[in-house]
Structures are given as C-alpha cells and as structure tokens.
Amino acid sequence: MPAMMMDTVDGSFAVETSGLVRRFGAMTAVDGLDLRVARGTFFGFLGPNGAGKSTTLKMLTGLLTPTAGTAKILGHDVVREPVEVKRRIGVVPEELALFDRLTGGEYLEFVGRMYGMPLSTVRQRSGELLDLLGLGGESSKLLVDYSHGMQKKVALAAALIHDPDVLFLDEPFEGIDAIAARLVKTILARLLERGVTIFLTSHILEIVERLCAHVAIIHQGKLIASGTMDELRHGVPSGAGSRMTLEDLFVSLVGNPDESTGALSWLE
Ligand SMILES: Nc1ncnc2c1ncn2[C@@H]1O[C@H](COP(=O)(O)OP(=O)(O)OP(=O)(O)O)[C@@H](O)[C@H]1O
Ligand SMILES: [Mg+2]
C-alpha cells in the first residue's frame, strides 16, 4: 500500500496553514494566511502579480522560512520536520534552479539519488520521463543549452521522479508549448487518480477552471476567496455569479476599478 494511503487515517490535510506570515523588511508579502487543502485535491492558488503566491509556495516547500504562523504538509510541520516534508513533496518552483553543467539525464539521476532511490529505479524513471516529455533525444545536451520550455519540462520530471504525495507547481504552463501543456495536463490527471494532491499557481484561468476542483484567491497577501467554482459563484451578489467564468470572478474580486478604463493619455 502506498505510504500516502496508509497515513490518511490520521486525518491531516495535505496542506494546512495557520496565521502564516512572511515579511520582507517592512513589507508583508503573506499576511496571516489560513489554508486547508484536503488530500487528493487539485487545488488552484490564484492571485494577481505580487499577491504572495510564490512566497506562500516557497514557505510550504521549505525554500523560505515563515516570519510567523505555521504550515503543515500531510501533518508534518515545514519548519520542525523539513526532511519528512521534502521526502513527501515534489516542487516546480518559480525560478528554476537546475545545474547548468549537467545533461537532463544526469540531473534526474542526481535528484533521484538525493532521494535515496536505487540507481536502477532512477535510471528507469528518468528515461521514461525524458521520453514522455520529448527530451529523450537530447541526452548529450547540457541544461544550460536547453530552451526555457525544455528546462521547465526537466524541472517537472525532477519533481516527479520520487513519486511524491503532494506536488507544488508554480506556473507550470508558463513557457511550454501547447503540446507539452496538454501532456502535462494528462500527467497531472493521472497523478490525481493515484491520490496525489496538486497545488498549482497559474495565471491561465481557463486551465485552472477546467482542472482545479478547489480554488483560492489571494490579494495583497490575504485570502479573499476560497472554495469550489460553484461556491465562488454563489459568493457573487445579484445572481449574476451563476454565469461567471473564473476570469470574470477573478477580475470582479481583485480588479481595481480605477484601472478598468485602461486610460493612457497618449492613446486618447
Ligand atoms: N526576496 C524578496 N525580497 C523582497 N521582497 C520580495 C521578495 N520576494 C517577494 N517579495 C515581494 O513579495 C510580494 C509577493 O511576491 P510573490 O513573488 O509571492 O508574488 P506572486 O503572487 O507570486 O506574483 P506573480 O504572479 O507575479 O508571480 C511582492 O511585492 C514581491 O515584491
Ligand atoms: Mg509568483
């Protein structure tokens, strides 16, 4: 039985934060965030540029220390139990930090060995992932010479190689072509069927609307909406919500009315 299924009995959430705060000097990027993501959920974490999405994701994955509050992954505290958390999660961060002087295959082998996987398993999974992502023919190319989209695909492969229980993806569709995007969606659907929790940020709201069962929107570091699409629509007064797309909801919740005219004096 996979580890994830065994410890669902403890009832903990895949992701749970309480009063999570991150400050950079005087600036508060994440401001008392309370989030709960049930296991096995495809969760879309949305917000305008600078809202605090990546900062939150970095705290959840151990890349940044919270200023205050707590965050738990599968019941494990990200600050007190960092190794257990890292063992259970896969991450595609906003800024990819790959090793330039390795080939894709070498990098995946390195990552797999870091997780303590047997070399034979690492090689098998690495080969399968690279082939699936259309990188099988690039075996001698160094990562520094990969295109942006190719680097993104390798980062995704590295996040998947140890079969994580919770997957954090910061803008996974940014910079990849339509064929790769479709492939990534298929892979994510398969992972979801296996019970993996997926925590995704994306500005492509059509994709989020189609894929994500639960959506949360943050604005200026604070949670301003959370729920299923239907629950978000019900939050809109006057009955207009029933026909709203996620983009409509997003703009109505975080759009600045002063900017809506889009006035540029020299375009008058
Ligand atoms: N290392 C840092 N030092 C100082 N300020 C930072 C740092 N990282 C993030 N910030 C600030 O925190 C705020 C939130 O940034 P964050 O990257 O979390 O936004 P985001 O929601 O991911 O935006 P985007 O959609 O543009 O990726 C921004 O005002 C940003 O300038
Ligand atoms: Mg970001």
Handedness of CA 181, 187, 191, 196 (dihedral sign): negative
Atom 7, ligand 1: which residue's CA is nearest? 24
Which pLDDT value is given to residue 242?
72
Atom 26, ligand 1: which residue's CA is nearest? 49
Atom 17, ligand 1: which residue's CA is nearest? 54
Which pLDDT value is given to residue 57?
98
Q: Which residues line ligand 1 (CB under 6 A)?
A: 24, 27, 29, 47, 49-55
Cα(90)–Cα(74) distance, integer angstroms: 13
Q: Which atom of ligand 1 is nearest to the CA of 57?
A: 18
Cβ atoms of residues 144 and 150 within 8 Å: no
Question: CB burial class (10 A; 0-12, 13-18, 19+) of residue 157?
Answer: buried
Q: How many angstroms separate the alpha carbon of residue 91 from the centre of ligand 2?
A: 14
Contacts of 3 (CB under 8 A, 6+ apart): 88, 165
CA distance to 57, 81, 207, 208, per residue, from 223 (Å): 14, 26, 21, 17
Domains identified in the chain and CATH numbers: 3-253 (3.40.50.300)
Q: Which residues surround ligand 2, an ion (CB under 5 A)?
A: 53-54, 94
Pocket test for ligand 1, best of 46, 55, 171, 200 (most atoms within 8 A of CB): 55
Q: Which of 89, 66, 116, 99 is nearest to 14 (CA)?
A: 89
Q: How many angstroms separate the alpha carbon of residue 66 from the centre of ligand 1?
A: 14
Q: Which of 71, 30, 64 is nearest to 47 (CA)?
A: 30
Which pLDDT value is given to residue 137?
83
The pTM (predicted TM-score) of the whole model is: 0.91
Which pLDDT value is given to residue 7?
46
Which pLDDT value is given to residue 241?
63
Which pLDDT value is given to residue 264?
78
* Ligand positioned closest to the Cα atom of 203: 1
Cβ atoms of residues 184 and 172 within 8 Å: yes
pLDDT in tens, the chain (268 residues): 344 444 445 679 999 999 999 999 999 999 999 999 999 999 999 999 999 999 999 999 999 999 999 999 999 999 999 999 999 999 999 888 888 899 999 999 999 999 999 999 999 999 999 998 888 888 789 999 998 889 999 999 999 999 999 999 999 998 888 988 999 999 999 999 999 999 999 999 999 999 999 999 999 999 999 999 888 888 776 666 677 889 988 998 888 665 556 677 777 7
Pocket test for ligand 1, best of 53, 201, 218 (most atoms within 8 A of CB): 53
